[in-house]
Amino acid sequence: MPVDIRRVLLVANYQKPEAEGLVEEMRSYLEGQGITVVVFAFSGRTAAPEVDGFDLAISLGGDGTVLFASRFLSSRRTPILAVNLGDFGFITEITKDEWRSAFEKFRAGGLAAGERLVLAVEVYRDGAKVAEFIGLNDAVIAAAGISKIVKLSVSLLEDKLGSYRADGVIIATPTGSTAYSAAAGGPILHPEMEAMIINPICPFTLSHRPIVVHAQEHITLAIEAEQRTGVILTIDGQTVFSLEPTDEVRVFRYPEKARIIRSDKRTFYEVLRSKLNWSGGPDA
């Protein structure tokens, strides 16, 4: 079925040299078809824009730009056309030369928006909730200092997994499975799966391994009282929150999903093969 698109939000990372020119190209093309265009351009860290009432968002940048956009668009169920202006994009499958074709195919009903699990993260201190976040890639609890081990107790709804002595713990979505979690030895999941990854970072006990759990699980990470370093929580590598001993971090599936428009030029596995150089060669 065709999609009625009347208002489009352009989320443009102006740290990418090509972004500004592409914004003007998109604005001219879309406004020429009677579509209202609102541009949110940024360079570096910024607050989220007002995003109510948009039929589509176009992200111009790399994977980090999509992560930023997804955190404020997921609750509105706004589909995101992610255009890659970066060097290494797993989420941004659509190139800058393909955006117009992808837009028209989506508007005509020929491209679908895949739904991706988003994490809800809550921090409790002395029994009271002191912070909450959402993230498309991951939530990471790690030492604030260099080469320090943190002490965490990790449990699920009905089961305690145990105490972790490690550089930290990553809770990753399937989308985030190709990011920090993969670098820490975690499995790669199809981005539209219903699952979460619990991945210890360089655990002191070598028997601790990454675990894939169902998306219905609630994961609780308790910061143990005795720590030899400061502890921080990072969401999508972009939002940082300082934790204190005895804090609890609760991670579960956010009620809404991020809607990322799929490319018809390449599959997720083709992107993996290309980005990870699975065909072989000196960099494989």
Query: pLDDT digits over 136-155, tens only?
Result: 999 999 999 777 899 999 99
| Catalytic option among 52, 63, 159, 264 | 63
Do residues 18 and 89 share a domain?
Answer: yes
207 falls within a domain: yes
Stretches where the chain sits below pLDDT 50 are: 284
CATH number of the structural domain spanning residue 40: 3.40.50.10330
pLDDT at position 88: 63
Please, are residues 76 and 52 in contact by the beta-carbon 8 Å criterion? yes
pLDDT at position 188: 96
Q: In what order do the strands lie in the sheet with 138-143?
A: 211-214, 195-201, 168-172, 138-143, 231-235, 239-243
* Bridge partners, residue 239, by sequence: 235
Do residues 219 and 130 share a domain?
Answer: yes
Q: Is the model's pTM score more than 0.85?
A: yes
Do residues 239 and 268 share a domain?
Answer: no
Do residues 240 and 133 share a domain?
Answer: yes
Do residues 205 and 265 share a domain?
Answer: no
* Bridge partners, residue 56, by sequence: 8
Identify the domain containing residue 32 by its residue range: 7-116+257-275
Do residues 134 and 83 share a domain?
Answer: no
63 is catalytic: yes
pLDDT at position 280: 61
